[in-house]
Chains A and B, each alone.
Chain A
């Protein structure tokens, strides 16, 4: 069983804080639209991708960090100048990325278990 740390954050500032507190670690981040009180996201692709991503988390490398980040509500996300889009260069939700590398999977690519596993297991 892989030993990784799971961190839940909400919004850009919390995300950056979580990253800066874990310097030198291998960080994977999953960005999703906010969930409501029933735990459902406004983003239908995020709802579809989450179980796929979670299903591959056993392949996360030892000592790595998995940050689950809710980006905000739909109007916040739709704004082209939100910090995630401007600074992190995200183009869609869900996005799964390997922080500090060019490895990303966006939207429908997150539905593919083999791609998710590839990201978690390859250099």
Chain B
């Protein structure tokens, strides 16, 4: 009603904006809003994991996601580099071994410096930080509860929900909760972890129910797992875990069923790591009671293109929001743009199309745009032209490393200018390679423009500018040396 709307505008709230969740999205949104003159508070609280672990401000990415993942991936890459180094003339005394505690401490120290950095930044930007578990009383009232059970409430004109997700445990598998530890992000982080664990010298097995990297281009996914198998990671395909038991030796015995042969298998491990997906953190937010609608299947918050929920003053960003990529950069950007809109500075919406990403497995996979199967689904196979090439990074030659899975694929419209729909790259530094091409996709570049670009030599990325063999031709796509 008009009265309600006037009262909403003139009513005094404790804060212009309260953000529930101090992760990638929540922090970016709150800092931006404060910078634009809004009075902002952010609530962040980490419920201890089943194992009792907890962490500081910054959310999943900083504490238990992207950052530690990439650092440990780097640790593993360095192990490979040490092996390669000998071929390049370095005299390295054997045996070279890896110390988990050293790496773990170094990673934790960096994470803690990020926690501190965020604390200082919030204070600098005059964002009120509350280390409390937030929930909604009504659309303008937020309740916070601290670790000691003390409660308080604050009111806000606008609310942003950015509580992210937590890992799922396969609770139907006896022993899973009791004996296993869990993954924070999915679906690719399970593979990434298996990759770096293998890389630092640990005997690692990946148990896969059906396909790896669901949602990603499946040809590229196979190249990634083929490389991992050649590199030493064991794979149990079509495996469904049945139970986990602790043996007298202290080892964990895992029983699983092969869904193809229907046979049961058992093996013993020191650690069982579950990477079976994440569930949105909505249970304790009290969303339904306040009128915020959730998706029936996923449990995530339903949002419109402007991140608005079913309640006009409540918004959701990041992993908690239905249909959004579970990525840090999209949460950050969406948070900043939302803050600008709420402060009345802009009307720009977040563009979720053509978001580039990289899987940091031992052979990295970078991609932007559509997978081959998605392009064919949307346009029809006959209307899609796929250019591809198997290439060998120069660095692999002296190191005598197999480059069989180093591959590039550019998926284009089959007609006219052949606009690029998707770009896929497996190889070293895939993230660095893909980032620039994401800009090209944003600008709607065509195959001709790609071929017109001069390559930088000698690099792996230049192979993208030289790509010319189509899948359709059936010709050998292996690049020969320059």
Q: Hey, which bits of chain A sit against chain B, CB under 8 A? A: 101-105, 109, 112, 114-115, 118, 122
21 inter-chain pairs at a CB distance below 8 angstroms, sorted by A residue, are: A101-B112, A101-B116, A102-B109, A102-B110, A102-B112, A102-B113, A102-B116, A103-B112, A103-B116, A104-B116, A105-B120, A109-B120, A112-B123, A112-B124, A114-B123, A115-B120, A115-B123, A115-B124, A118-B119, A118-B120, A118-B123
| Chain B residue at minimal CB-CB distance from A98 | B116
* Top 3 closest pairs, chain A to chain B, by CB: A102-B113, A103-B116, A102-B112
How far is B116's CA from A118's CA once the two chains are assembled, in angstroms?
10
Select the residue from A101, A102, A114, A115 with max chain B CB neighbours within 10 A: A102
> How far apart sit A104 and B116, CA to CA, in the bound complex (Å)?
8
- Interface pair B119/A122, CB less than 8 Å apart: yes
Number of contacting residues on B, CB 8 A? 9
Minimal Cβ-Cβ distance residue in A for B119 = A118
Q: How far is the CB of A95 from chain B (nearest CB, A)?
A: 14
Instruction: Report the Cα distance A102→B109, complex, angstroms.
Output: 7
CA distance A112 to B113 in the complex (A): 19
Considering only CB atoms, which chain B residue lies closest to A105 in the complex? Answer: B120
- How far apart are the CA atoms of A67 and B152 in the complex, in Å? 37
B120 contacts which chain A residues (CB < 8 A)?
Answer: 105, 109, 115, 118
In chain B between 108 and 162, which residues have their CB closer than 8 angstroms to a CB of chain A?
109-110, 112-113, 116, 119-120, 123-124
Extra 6 A-B pairs, beta carbons < 8 Å, given A102-B110, A115-B123 = A104-B116, A105-B120, A112-B123, A112-B124, A114-B123, A115-B120
Contacts of A114 in B (CB 8 A): 123
- Residues of chain A with a CB closer than 8 A to B110's CB: 102
List residues of chain B with CB within 8 A of the CB of A122: 119
Residue of B nearest to A122 (CB): B119
- Minimum distance in angstroms from B96 CB to a CB of chain A: 27
CB distance from A120 to the nearest CB of B (A): 13
Q: Which B residues, 163 to 188, have Cβ-Cβ distances below 8 Å to chain A?
A: none
Task: Please report the C-alpha to C-alpha distance between residue A104 and residue B217 in the assembled complex, in whole angstroms.
Answer: 45
Query: What A residues does B123 contact at CB under 8 A?
Result: 112, 114-115, 118
- Give chain B residues whose Cβ lies under 8 Å from the Cβ of A105: 120
- Closest chain A residue, CB of each to CB of B114: A102
Main secondary structure of the interface of A (DSSP, over half): mixed
- The CA-CA distance from A112 to B123 in the complex, in Å, is 10
Residue-wise, chain B 80-109 has the 8 Å CB interface mask toward A (1 for contact) of 000000000000000000000000000001
CB distance from B54 to the nearest CB of A (A): 11
Once bound together, how far apart are the Cα atoms of A103 and B119, in whole Å? 10
Q: How far is the CA of A85 from the CA of B237 in the complex (A)?
A: 53
Q: How far is the CA of A114 from the CA of B128 in the complex (A)?
A: 12
CA distance A109 to B112 in the complex (A): 18
| A56→B112 CA distance, assembly (Å) | 23
Contacts of B112 in A (CB 8 A): 101-103
Contact residues in B for A102 (Cβ distance below 8 Å): 109-110, 112-113, 116
Distance between B350 CB and nearest chain A CB, rounded to angstroms: 32
Give the complex CA separation of A114 and B124 in angstroms: 9
Most interface-central of B109, B113, B116, B119 (chain A CB within 10 A): B116
Would you give the shortest CB distance from B258 to chain A, in whole angstroms? 47
**List of B residues within 8 angstroms of A115 by Cβ:** 120, 123-124
Bound Cα distance from A103 to B110, whole angstroms? 11
Bound Cα distance from A104 to B120, whole angstroms:
10
Neighbouring B residues of A104 by C-beta, 8 Å: 116
| CB nearest to B108 among chain A residues | A102
A96 to chain B, nearest CB (A): 12
A104 to B112 CA separation, bound complex (whole angstroms): 11
Q: Which chain B residues border A109 with CB–CB below 8 Å?
A: 120
Residues of A contacting B109 in the complex (Cβ-Cβ under 8 angstroms): 102
Q: Which residues of A contact B124 (CB under 8 A)?
A: 112, 115
In whole angstroms, how far apart are the Cα atoms of A115 and B112 in the complex?
A: 16
Closest Cβ–Cβ distance, residue B119 to chain A (whole Å): 6
CA distance A107 to B112 in the complex (A): 21
- The CA-CA distance from A42 to B66 in the complex, in Å, is 44
C-alpha spacing A105/B123, complex, angstroms: 12
B42 to chain A, nearest CB (A): 15
Chain A: minimal CB distance from B67 (Å): 13
**Residue of A whose beta carbon sits closest to that of B117:** A102
A102 to B107, alpha carbons, bound, how many Å? 12
Which B residue's beta carbon lies closest to that of A117?
B123
Q: How far is the CB of B46 from chain A (nearest CB, A)?
A: 12
A112 to B120, CA, bound (A): 10
Inter-chain contacts of A103 with B (CB < 8 A)? 112, 116
Nearest residue, chain B, Cβ from A115? B123
How far is it, in angstroms, between the C-alpha of A113 and the C-alpha of B477 when the chains are bound? Answer: 64
